[in-house]
Every structure is written in C-alpha cells, then in structure tokens.
Amino acid sequence: APPVADVATAAPVAAPAPGAALIDLDDDVSGDDAAIELDADATDNADDDAARDELDLDDDDGDDADDKADGDGRPPRDPAVRNVFERLRNLPVAAQLKVAREGEVSERIALERMYGKTVWEALLRNPRITHPEVTRIARMASLPRPLLELIVSNTAWLRSPEVRRALLGNLRLGVDMIPRVLRLLPKHELRLVPSQTAYPLGVRDAARRLLKDS
C-alpha cells in the first residue's frame, strides 16, 4: 500500500502576521505622531470642517422632530463637536440667544440641534451664518412666516440653490413669496419645477404661470 503522508509532521504554511497590513500602512507615522496629528486636526477644525461635517450628517433628513434638529438623539461623532454640545447644554434662554447671535459655526450647529425653534431667529441674525445652516432652517416644516420672509428677503441667501430648493419645498412658504424665489431660478431649472412632485402644488402652478408669461 502507498505510504500515507504524515499530516502531523508536514511543514506548516507560513501565514501573514496578524496586523501586518495595518502596520505597513502606518509605517510612516509613529503612534505618538499620529496622536498629535489627530489632536491638531480636531483643534483646528472644531469651529469649521468638523462642525460642518456634523451638520451634513442630517442635512438630508428634512425632519424637525419636536422642532429640534437632534430629534433622532444621535450624539455627534467628532470629539471636538461633542465638547461644544456639552458646554452649551442646559443654557438659559438668554444665553442661548446670545451665543446664537454671536457664536462660531460649531456653537450655532449645536444650538440649533439642541434648542431648535427657540434659536432660529437669533441664528438667522448672526452675520456669519452659512448657507448650509440657512438651508437647514429653511426646510423646517414649523418655521414661522416671519422667518420665511426674513430668508426670502436676503438676496445673498437666495443665490444658493440649496436655500432656494429648501424654501420651495416648504409647505409654509407664502404664495406672495413663491414668485420671488422662482424668479431667481435659472431658466432650465424653472422648466423642471412644474413636474417636480416634491414641490407643493402652489409652487408648481406658480412656475407654470411664470413660464407662460416669459
């Protein structure tokens, strides 16, 4: 009978060391250097990129559950932004409004998420508010008419396609405000509005009238 191979004594096949690929990827950065770089990034971007990223997480939701932007209860992922949330938690109303009018982007985002409609007007009065922030407020279904008028009256904000779309999709946008927003649409976008079922009927009808008169 042919000899049977001794499995127990066969030479084992060498397997790659666990974590080898990870070590190769990070060879150029020591552990200490990586930690320093991460800390520097968090500090440099706390009031800008990190906060904007946190805002973008919920930009597509379109929900204002309980009139608060953090209605889903998810904590911010970035540590720097989490620190801002903790610092602004349980502020009295007067302090909320002051920070909303004067605060940096990370503070404004945290305030809007935590306090919702209480700070909307103060945020819109902040001269440094960004288009993404205005867009988020403009799509809120419970946004009062005076604040819709405030947004519509700001030509700089209306130049933003995102702000215009948020306004046109808001059921509370008044019939007197709709034409002002529509007139700022490029012609090719205006032609699409009547067929966009995401927009209320009043917006689509107003777009048809504008196209007919043009």
Classify residue 208 by its DSSP letter.
Answer: H
Q: Where are the beta strands (DSSP E) in the chain?
A: none
- Looking at residue 75, what is its pLDDT? 56
pLDDT of residue 214: 75
pLDDT of residue 82: 76
How many C-beta neighbours within 10 Å does residue 126 have?
19
Contact 110, 89 (CB under 8 A): no
161 exposure class (CB count in 10 Å sphere: 0-12, 13-18, 19+): middle
pTM over 0.75: no
Instruction: Check if the beta carbon of residue 163 is closer than 8 Å to that of residue 192.
Output: no
Task: Judge whether 109 and 138 are in contact, CB under 8 Å.
Answer: no
What is the pLDDT, as a whole number, of residue 18?
45
What are the angstrom distances between the C-alpha of 35 and each of 42, 50, 80, 82, 83?
11, 17, 15, 18, 18
Single-letter amino acid code for the residue at 172: R
In the chain, domain spans:
43-129, 143-214
Whole-number pLDDT of residue 22:
39
> Going residue by residue through the chain (214 aa), what tens digit of pLDDT does each one get?
555 444 444 444 444 444 444 333 344 444 444 433 434 344 344 444 544 554 443 444 444 444 444 444 455 666 766 788 899 998 999 999 999 999 999 999 999 999 999 999 999 999 999 999 999 999 999 999 999 999 999 999 999 999 999 999 999 999 999 999 999 999 999 999 999 999 999 999 999 999 998 7
- The 3-state secondary structure of 80-142 reads HHHHHHHHHCCCCHHHHHHHHHHCCHHHHHHHHHHHHHHCHHHHHCCCCCCHHHHHHHHCCCC
> Which amino acid type is present at position 59?
D
